Amino acid sequence: MKLSLDDLAIFGGRPAFAEPLHVGRPNIGDRARLLERINDLLDRRWLTNEGPYVREFELRIAALAGVPHCIATCNGTMALEIGIRAAGLSQEVIVPSFTFVATAHALQWQGITPVFCDVDPATHTLDPGRVEELITPRTTGIIGVHLWGRPCNIGALGEIARHRGLKLLFDAAHAFGGSHRGRMIGGFGDAEMFSFHATKFLNSFEGGAIVTADADIAARARMMRNFGFVDYDDVRYVGTNGKMAEVAAAMGLTSLESLAEFVEVNRRNYHLFRIGLKGIPGVSLLPYDESERCNYQYVVLEIDEQAAGISRDLTQQVLHRENVLARRYFYPGCHRMEPYRSYFPSARFMLPQTERLVQRVLSLPTGTAIGPEEIRTMCDLVRFARDHAPAIATRLARPEPAAETPA
Ligand code: T4K
């Protein structure tokens, strides 16, 4: 508990945490079970190329997402790239800029122009009204991102896609285990893509998956993942190597066995943050819709500098010095990163909500590596920084006293 400004690490006090607290510390399941599986795959000498663990993982993911087809990949970006190609997207595709850059890169990597669309300030996901305005004769699809695991406005986006003859895909990298109107994420649009990266709710070290109810998309994605092969010596499509390794599937299967525990810890953490941050002026915690299934993997603050009297960046600076490595996901927005910044220098004028959000959001460490005591301390730090914001800013602006030089 910090009692005075001098206690803050930014002013020379001892950091609140001896070791850094990270956003995205992996959730790890039963180690013994994982090692058993790794021994099995070594004994089998079947390490990749649609091995038994990958097939089992695909069946489990498809069942949990409530879809007939799952194609596991080596990472989420590859799942996006293959999903986009298998769905036949080309020319221009509408995507949010307020997302991890992989969503845009997966298009640009294959010569498709990402057309950045603004988000709804309340949900942080694509604003359907803005999507309509960006449709041109070159538009072939829309990719919504279920940011922070909170579903897009799936109904409205579906209507637009149907009326305008566009494909609708979802980047569901954050949303495994969530639901929308009682149906699991994974079954919406033409296809959805998950990430099972180490930092995600469910991890397979690195990994991803395309899930779909469309048998044609699934068949194409499966071929494309394996160089376009349909049989020995028979290539039908341009393809890549997007396969998931057996060791990754072993980790994925082991993580799946602890899914209920991961949700429970994340949910507990989210509620402790809610209690600990309650009533701090200008600081709000992004809510989950608890009438749906949620994975609670992200604890995201919005800091309104006017109301809080402290900026997001100063809050982050204070926290970092205390060894709380809070992240500014997804600053500064894809449209301000290369090559998009050079391609679309005026994009920022079209993205007022994105521009506003990238200055306000801050992700805090949560997950199974974080306990109640750490959460209490993090909340106390945010509150203390907010309550003493003017004094912190003034003291930081003061020039450091010159070090004494020996005579
Ligand atoms: N779409 C969306 C919306 C996404 O958010 C992502 C990925 C993708 C698509 C693409 O999926 P993948 O191709 O990645 O499967 C991290 C992750 O690498 C990335 O997967 C994730 N989104 C993104 C939001 O976060 P960085 O550049 O911020 O990673 P890094 O190395 O700074 O790690 C994040 C934190 O996690 C660090 O504070 C340390 C901690 N960490 C990380 C790893 C890898 C650990 O404690 N242990 C670990 O093993 O991108």
Domains of the chain (ranges, CATH numbers): 5-19+259-326+365-397 (3.90.1150.10), 31-257 (3.40.640.10)
Q: Provide the pLDDT for residue 1.
A: 76
Backbone angles phi, psi at 103, to 5 degrees: -60, -45
> What is d(CA 302, CA 298) in angstroms, rounded to the nearest whole number?
13
> What is d(CA 36, CA 250) in angstroms, rounded to the nearest whole number?
9
> What is d(CA 89, CA 221) in angstroms, rounded to the nearest whole number?
13
> What is d(CA 351, CA 26) in angstroms, rounded to the nearest whole number?
33
- Cβ–ligand 1 contact at 202 (below 6 Å): no
Q: Provide the pLDDT for residue 404.
A: 62
Encoding tokens for residue 175? 């949303």
Chain segment 219-252, per-residue pLDDT in tens? 999 999 999 999 899 999 899 999 999 999 999 9
Q: Could you tell which of 74, 99, 100, 192 is best to mutate to test the pocket of ligand 1, judged by most ligand atoms within 8 Å of the CB?
A: 100
Neighbours of 404 (CB within 10 A): 6
Which of helix, strand or coil describes residue 64?
helix
Give distance in angstroms: CA of 199 to centre of ligand 1: 5
Closest Cα to atom 12 of ligand 1: 76
- Cβ–ligand 1 contact at 103 (below 6 Å): yes
pLDDT in tens, the chain (407 residues): 777 999 999 999 999 999 999 999 999 999 999 999 999 999 999 999 999 999 999 999 999 999 999 999 999 999 999 999 999 999 999 999 999 999 999 999 999 999 999 999 999 999 999 999 999 999 999 999 999 999 999 999 999 999 999 999 999 999 999 999 999 999 999 999 999 999 999 999 999 999 999 999 999 999 999 999 998 999 998 999 999 999 999 999 999 999 999 999 999 999 999 999 999 999 999 999 999 999 999 999 999 999 999 999 999 999 999 999 999 999 999 999 999 999 999 999 999 999 999 999 999 999 999 999 999 999 999 999 999 999 999 999 887 666 565 55
Which atom in ligand 1 lies closest to the alpha carbon of residue 329?
24
- Cβ–ligand 1 contact at 199 (below 6 Å): yes
- Cβ–ligand 1 contact at 135 (below 6 Å): no
Q: Provide the pLDDT for residue 401.
A: 64
Identify which of 60, 78, 81 has the alpha carbon closest to the alpha carbon of residue 70.
60
Give distance in angstroms: CA of 24 to centre of ligand 1: 7
Give distance in angstroms: CA of 301 to centre of ligand 1: 18
- Cβ–ligand 1 contact at 364 (below 6 Å): no
Do residues 203 and 252 make contact, with C-beta atoms less than 8 angstroms apart? yes
Q: Provide the pLDDT for residue 3.
A: 78
* Amino acid found at 335: H
Please, which residues bridge with residue 301 across strands? Answer: 285, 362
Neighbours of 190 (CB within 10 A): 21
> What is d(CA 11, CA 3) in angstroms, rounded to the nearest whole number?
13
- Cβ–ligand 1 contact at 188 (below 6 Å): no
Backbone angles phi, psi at 50, to 5 degrees: 50, 50
Identify which of 184, 123, 368 has the alpha carbon closest to the alpha carbon of residue 268.
368
Identify which of 214, 244, 233 has the alpha carbon closest to the alpha carbon of residue 86.
214
